């Protein structure tokens, strides 16, 4: 955070960019491990999900003529958690990780769900990037107006 109220909008968008980038990385990891029956923790890979939390700061002063502080903020990553939903079971007696009944515990990763998550994270990333670009354009126009009035 800049600590400057002028950059609050850019800070909010930047926090969204970082959060959505992390979400894209986790989704990519889920897709890469969709068929991993062995993980470092033992057993099949478990799908992961990113947990976001909102961040509020009282940094914009003097809004609305009240002299109070309007909250600004953004988003931060609260953590990455494992999805504890049921694992998928498939019958494949020839698989090295098959149990005595011939069934293999597979990761709880559903590729269509992960693709939707990737698309929504990508769109949210693009929206935050567009907001930052608009902020930059408005700032440049403001500086241009101030330069033209001063000269």
3-state SS, 50-74, equals EEEEEEEEEEEECHHHCCCEEEEEE
- Cβ atoms < 10 Å from Cβ of 123: 11
The three-state secondary structure class of 82 is strand
The three-state secondary structure class of 15 is helix
The mean pLDDT of the chain is 88
Mean pLDDT across 83-100:
96
User: What are the structure tokens assigned to 135, written together?
Assistant: 């902020």
CB 89 within 8 A of CB 99: no
Burial of 15 (0-12, 13-18, 19+ CB in 10 A): buried
Is the pLDDT reported for residue 6 higher than 90? no
What residue ranges do the domains of the chain occupy? 5-36+48-84+111-150
Name the residue with higher pLDDT: 96 or 62. Answer: 96
Give per-residue pLDDT as tens, 23-82.
Answer: 999 999 999 999 999 998 889 999 999 999 998 866 545 444 444 555 578 899 999 999
Spatial distance between the Cα atoms of 120 and 31, rounded to a whole number of angstroms: 15
For residue 54, the cross-strand partners are 75
Mean pLDDT across 104-120:
98
Is the pLDDT reported for residue 105 higher than 50? yes
pLDDT band for position 86 (50/70/90)? very high
């Amino acid at each position: 955070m800049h600590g400057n109220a002028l950059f609050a909008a850019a800070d909010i968008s930047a926090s969204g960019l970082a959060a959505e980038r992390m979400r894209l990385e986790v989704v990519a990891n889920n897709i890469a491990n969709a068929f991993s029956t062995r993980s470092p923790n033992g057993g099949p890979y478990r799908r992961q999900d990113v947990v976001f939390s909102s961040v509020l700061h009282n940094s914009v002063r003097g809004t609305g003529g009240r002299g109070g502080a309007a909250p600004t903020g953004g988003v931060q990553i609260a953590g990455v958690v494992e999805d504890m939903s049921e694992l998928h079971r498939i019958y494949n007696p020839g698989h090295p990780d098959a149990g005595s009944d011939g069934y293999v515990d597979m990761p709880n990763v559903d590729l269509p769900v992960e693709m939707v998550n990737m698309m929504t994270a990508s769109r949210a990333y693009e929206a935050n990037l567009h907001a930052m670009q608009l902020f930059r354009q408005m700032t440049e126009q403001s500086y241009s107006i101030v330069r033209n009035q001063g000269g």
